[in-house]
A = this chain, B = another copy of it.
Amino acid sequence: MKKNQISILGSGLIGSLLSIYLKRRGLDVSIYEKRADNRKGPYREEGRSINMALSDRGWRALEKAGLTEKVKPLTIPMYGRMVHDEHGKTNFLPYGKDNQAIYSISRGKFNQLLVDEAETAGVKVNFESKIEDVDLKNFQIELTSLQSGEKETIASEVIIGSDGAYSSLRNAMLKQMRFDYRQKYISHGYKELSIPATAAGEFAMDPNALHIWPRGNFMLIALPNPDKSFTCTLFLPFEGDRVCFENINDERDVVGVFKTYFDDAYELMPNLTQEFFANPTSSLINIECFPWMLKSALLIGDACHAMVPFYGQGMNCGFEDCFILDEIIEKYGTNAWELVFAKFQKVRKPNTDAICQLAMENFEEMKSDVADPKFILRKKIEAKLHQLYPKEWIPLYTMVTFSRMPYAEAYYQGKLQQKIMDRVMADPLITQNWDKLDYEDIINQMDKARAV
C-alpha cells in the first residue's frame, strides 16, 4: 500500500492551487483526478462550462502563489454589464469605478496552467484515478486506475476533498453521524452556446463587458475569450413557463425563441441550433454542509459550498478558501491538522453561507432587475454615494467583488444599505429629484443603522 502525507481529491482549479500552496510548505502532496490529462490531445470542455470571472479575491490568492503574471494573458477585463434590450439596444452599467473590472477566463486553459504549475512545484498529479471510496476510519482512499483497471489503496495522513459539488469525500462524510447536509437545485438549467469571431477575425461585440440579455424569468449572457469568440450561457426554467427547456424540441423552437427574445445575439450565432442540441442542459445546485472536516480530512471549495453562478464568486470563493487555509497553516504549522481544519471551518462557514445566499439573490438582479430603469437609477445613486463617501458607502457588489471584506460582513452591510435605499427609492419623484438628494443624510442614516 502506498502512503502519502497529503492526498488531494480533484485536480480542478481549487485542488491545483491548494496543492501549490501545500507543496511550498515542504509537504508531500499528491492529487487524484478521475479525468484524463486534458493537456494532451485536443482539449474538450464538454460544452457545459460557464466562463469564469476572476475578481479581487481570486487575484489575491493567485498573487500569493506568484501566478498573477502567468494568468493575466488568459484573461479579458470586463468593466461592466452590457445590457441588451429586445430591440438590440444596449446600455452599459459599470461594475465599479473606471479602472475596476472582473476578468473573463475559460476554465479549461486556466486549469491546464494551474496543473502545469503544480507539477513544476513538485506535486504528483495522478489522472484517470477514479475514487471508489474514502475510508474515514483507516484514512485510506480506494481508487481504480481507469487505464489499467487496477484497484489501489492509498493511506494518507491528510485527505483534502476539492472534488466539487459531487465530492467523494463528502459522500463518505455524509454517512457519518451528525453531518448536516443540504443540496438544492434551482428551477432553472443552463446551456453553453457561442458567438464566434467575425469573418474579419474580430470580436463580434464589445469584448470589455459581460453581455446580458435579461428577459424577466430567463436570460442569455456572453463572456469574451482571448480567441475573440464569446462563450454564451442560456438560463431557462426546465419546465412550467412558456419559454423553458421542455418546450424547445426542434430547430424551429430554438430559432423562434432566439429571434423573438435575443435577435441581435441570434444574428451572431451561426452554430446556434447545432450547439443547442449537441450541448447538454445542465442543472444548478446549491450545497451547504457542516462540519467540513473529520479528523485530518477536509472539504474545500464546491465540495462543501457549491453555489449558483450568479455572483461570479464560486471560483473566487474557492481560491479565498485556499488563501485563508494557508494563513491558518502558517500560524499553527503542519503538525496540527485537526486544529487547523477546525479553525478554518469556523472562520469560513459564515462567509460561504453569505455568498451562497447572495449568489441565489443575484439571479433576480441579472435576469430581471438590470432592465428596470428604477434599478439602474438606484445603482447610479449608490455609485454617487460611493464617490462622495468612498469609505462610508461601498456598494454591495463592490464589497463582494473588489474588496477582501469577509462575505458575511458584506452581506450584513448590504442588508442595511438595502433598507435605506428602499426608503430613498420610495419617493415617487425620485426620478426627477435624484441629483438633489441629501446624500449626507443618507450616510447619517447608514451610520445610525450600523450603530444599532
| A25 CB, nearest partner CB in chain B, Å | 32
Do residues B178 and A185 form an inter-chain contact, with CB atoms below 8 A? yes
Is A429 close to B, CB under 8 A? no
Is A179 close to B, CB under 8 A? yes
With the chains together, A305 CA to B177 CA distance in Å? 17
**Interface size of A as a range:** 10 to 19
Protomer copies: 2
Q: Name the residue on B nearest A280 (C-beta).
A: B177
Residues in B whose Cβ lies below 8 Å from that of A175: 166
Residues in B whose Cβ lies below 8 Å from that of A184: 180, 182
Q: Considering the complex, which residues of chain A in the window 150-205 have a beta carbon less than 8 Å from any beta carbon of chain B?
A: 166, 174-175, 177-185
Is A127 close to B, CB under 8 A? no
| A198 CB, nearest partner CB in chain B, Å | 36
| A381 CB, nearest partner CB in chain B, Å | 38
Residue from B179, B182, B238 within 8 A of A181 (CB atoms): B182
Residue among A178, A184, A185, A238 with the highest chain B CB neighbour number at 10 A: A178
With the chains together, A179 CA to B166 CA distance in Å? 12
Is A283 close to B, CB under 8 A? yes
With the chains together, A283 CA to B176 CA distance in Å? 11
Do residues B178 and A181 form an inter-chain contact, with CB atoms below 8 A? no
With the chains together, A328 CA to B381 CA distance in Å? 58
With the chains together, A5 CA to B128 CA distance in Å? 38
Residues in B whose Cβ lies below 8 Å from that of A185: 177-180
Do residues A283 and B178 form an inter-chain contact, with CB atoms below 8 A? yes
With the chains together, A370 CA to B177 CA distance in Å? 30
With the chains together, A185 CA to B179 CA distance in Å? 7
Residues in B whose Cβ lies below 8 Å from that of A177: 185, 283
Q: Considering the complex, which residues of chain A in the window 269-289 have a beta carbon less than 8 Å from any beta carbon of chain B?
A: 283
With the chains together, A183 CA to B287 CA distance in Å? 12
Q: Name the residue on B nearest A284 (C-beta).
A: B178
| A236 CB, nearest partner CB in chain B, Å | 14
Do residues B180 and A181 form an inter-chain contact, with CB atoms below 8 A? no
Do residues B179 and A182 form an inter-chain contact, with CB atoms below 8 A? no
1/0 contact trace for A344-364 toward B, CB 8 Å?
Answer: 000000000000000000000
List 4 tightest A-B contacts by C-beta distance, closest first.
Answer: A182-B182, A178-B185, A177-B283, A181-B183
> Told that A178-B185, A179-B185, A181-B183 touch, could you supply 13 new A-B pairs with CB distance under 8 A?
A166-B175, A174-B183, A177-B185, A177-B283, A178-B238, A179-B183, A180-B183, A180-B184, A180-B185, A181-B182, A182-B182, A182-B183, A182-B184
18 A-B residue pairings within 8 Å (CB atoms):
A166-B175, A174-B183, A177-B185, A177-B283, A178-B185, A178-B238, A178-B283, A179-B183, A179-B185, A180-B183, A180-B184, A180-B185, A181-B181, A181-B182, A181-B183, A182-B182, A182-B183, A182-B184
